[in-house]
Amino acid sequence: MTYCSPLFGKRRFIKRCPPFIGIDDFAFRKGHSYGTIICDLSTHKPVALLPERYPETISEWLKNHQNIQVVSRDGYQAFRKGIQNASQSILQVYDRWHFVRAVKKQIDACLTSILPSVITLEKEETDQQTFPHETKLQRRQKERAEKKWMMIKSIQQEYKKGKKKAELAREFHMDPRTISKYLNITEMPVQVKRKRKRQTDGFEQYIQQLEQEGKTIREIDAQLRKYGYTGTLSGVRVAVESIRKERKRQGIKESSVRISRRQMISYVWKRKSRLLEEELQLLEQSFKMYPSLHSFHQMVQTFREAFDERNYPAFFKWLEKQLSSPNNHLYDCALRLRRDLQSIKLAFSTSYSNGVVEGHVHRLKLMKRIMYGRAKLDLLEKRVLYHL
């Protein structure tokens, strides 16, 4: 393999260039000037850095390396054009992550025009099931508690088998006193949330009464001073805002559920088999409110199924359907994909990807930061290709 950088002497050269490469761009100055990095997909090592990302630059480099057979790239049109100009025999593979990202980006844009920022769904009277109200923090706490309880039961089982407390302490990396405590536990421990002390404790009734009278926060603070309040104004503000939030929360019907557009987009994008039962109910109710969302969801699911199963014929049928009418939501996206159809087909049938190249782009960014931005091509190339 020949890592033919013009900045290295002949003693740095190896016999020939790699036949399978990945290509991506990087920024010398973000939004202004960009270069190109080329990596060997077999050895996972960088091959060369180019000063530009223009088609002519890519084409010239490839013409100097005639044994290139496969190039993995993203959807940047200059790369496609440069490779085509160099040789029609080079196989271009569209990186799968960039391919899905391009489609997902268009889907998000379409759903933004269909759905409002917040969707309010009414619970059906016949529906006996309640919707989940757990926050992410509560779910994490619940998972940690269950994991801890499983560990406690395993400690108790090991103790019954005859292991001593000292052995269990070494095995589980715990204090022997903790092991003794866990051996006496018979039920799953419940974490009691401690109420945080506030400066306004003892003045809640006064604050609520004054807030209902329409007093401002400063007026409430002045009145509380007369009753002996010695805290800060910010403490009063926190108490008043919590009262107002609670009133606003109660103003929303208890029979309704509010979902953000971003959350609903995630429901549409996920495979239907991976959604929870509650999420499926919310999705079905959204179809009733927004009929166009149902057909859009079916279209997204068809694409996900074809891509996840690497079924190119199914994807091709999906693409033809999107191109059947200019009124389809993804018509423009499908036009762009059709121009790059051969590389997409190889993405379905081969294992080449740009993951290695993306890793070296991050490594290159780190080197630039270490050099405080003083990274011209010659110095940067020596740092990136130093292992050669």
pLDDT of 193 reads 65
Domain that holds residue 158: 136-183
53-73: pLDDT as tens digits: 999 999 999 999 888 999 999
Does a structural domain hold residue 5?
no
- Are 357 and 322 within one domain? no
pLDDT of 318 reads 93
Does a structural domain hold residue 111?
no
Q: Mark the ranges of the chain whose per-residue pLDDT is less than 70.
A: 1-17, 123-135, 191-194, 249-255, 373, 387-388
Q: Where are the beta strands (DSSP E) in the chain?
A: 20-29, 33-40, 45-50, 70-73, 91-94, 118-122, 256-260
- Are 303 and 374 within one domain? no
pLDDT of 61 reads 92
pLDDT of 31 reads 81
- Are 372 and 325 within one domain? no
Does a structural domain hold residue 157?
yes
Query: How many independent structural domains does the chain possess?
Result: 4
pLDDT of 123 reads 62
Instruction: Round to whole Å and give the CA distance between 38 and 46.
Output: 6
pLDDT of 133 reads 55
Instruction: Round to whole Å and give the CA distance between 341 and 360.
Output: 27
Instruction: Round to whole Å and give the CA distance between 90 and 299.
Output: 33
pLDDT of 255 reads 59
* Cα 266–Cα 322–Cα 324 angle in degrees, nearest 5: 160
pLDDT of 266 reads 92
Does a structural domain hold residue 213?
yes
- Are 329 and 365 within one domain? no
- Please name which of 288, 283, 260 lies closest in space to residue 117, comparing C-alpha atoms: 260
Which of residues 251, 282, 310 is at a domain's end? 251
Taking each helix axis from N to C terminus, what angle separates 331-339 and 312-322, rounded to the nearest 10 degrees?
Answer: 130
